[in-house]
Amino acid sequence: MSRSGWFEPSVPIRVEGGIRVRSKRGSIGERWWSRRFIDILEGVCDPGRLGRGRSYARSGQVLDTELGPGLVTARVQGSRRTPYLVEIRITSYRADQWRELTDALAAQALYRARLLAGEMPPEIEDAFRACRLPLFPGTGDLDMTCSCPDRGSPCKHLSAVLYVLAERFDDDPFLVLAWRGIARDALLDALREAGGTATGSGSGERGPGLFDVDDAPFADRLASFYEPSVSAARLRDRTGLPAPPPDLLLRTLDPPQVKARHIPILDLLRPAYRTFADSDDS
């Protein structure tokens, strides 16, 4: 019985054509960003409701979802004939905040290259953290409502949507960023425009980057082919360059095909490497 005194049958109305998560057992979410999202939720939400939410997500009780800046809406079929309406809100960053973030991402050649290739580098969290704008929600960052009578938060309907959302993140990591307020095309256009160059001091203009060299036909470079395109002075000047990431070794090796609790082993090792680096700095 809910706190409102209304009894809800334990078996939801089965539906055809609902959204079923691919995972049949164990954890939901395969990529590091979706697992990061799920781990946060499972750390702050009631385990019982999350378990019932997984069952709903696996049986296709979520009818549809729609994601926009700062808001996810969905319909979930419960035991009542009318589906429940779910809303999940998160802070959507302003245009000026996204300019700061895209500048920070473009300044890191690795981040920029992998994002332009359609990938989500694990280190992207560091760029967001440096701008004091978290990528993933923390405790209390999600405003969640459901039209069901269950006063618990999240209820099983909300939990089901959260798990479906994690698998949508699996398929398209740019949805994580779109939820924070920037569409994929807008982000990639901003990164292409930034070009990975450094920002001029105080002028707001972009100066030449370390790896910006003039492209010339090979025939015109025969006499100077073996000369470096970048002067030794510029190579010695490492001011403004990022420090080597603590998990650089993990990036250079071929990833082992090993999983723990259905999570790729590299996704578990990276946080440990960062923790070791932080302890060395302290």
3-class state of residue 236 by DSSP: helix
Rounded Cα distance between 240 and 175, Å, is: 31
65 near 57, Cβ under 8 Å? no
Q: Tokens for 28?
A: 């939901």
Q: Can you give the pTM of this predicted structure? A: 0.66
Q: 156-171 vs 32-44: helix axis angle to the nearest 10?
A: 160
Beta strands in 92-141 (DSSP E): none
**Mind listing the pLDDT tens digit of every residue in the chain (282 residues)?**
444 444 445 688 888 888 988 877 767 778 888 888 888 777 767 777 788 888 899 999 999 999 999 999 999 999 888 999 999 999 999 999 999 999 888 888 888 888 888 888 888 888 899 999 999 887 678 888 999 988 777 888 999 999 999 989 988 889 999 999 999 999 988 888 876 444 443 344 444 443 444 566 767 767 766 666 555 655 555 555 455 666 666 655 566 667 766 666 777 777 777 677 666 555
Cβ neighbours for 249, distance < 8 A, ≥ 6 positions apart: 273
- Domain boundaries defined on the chain: 1-197
How many other C-beta atoms lie within 10 A of the C-beta of residue 27? Answer: 18
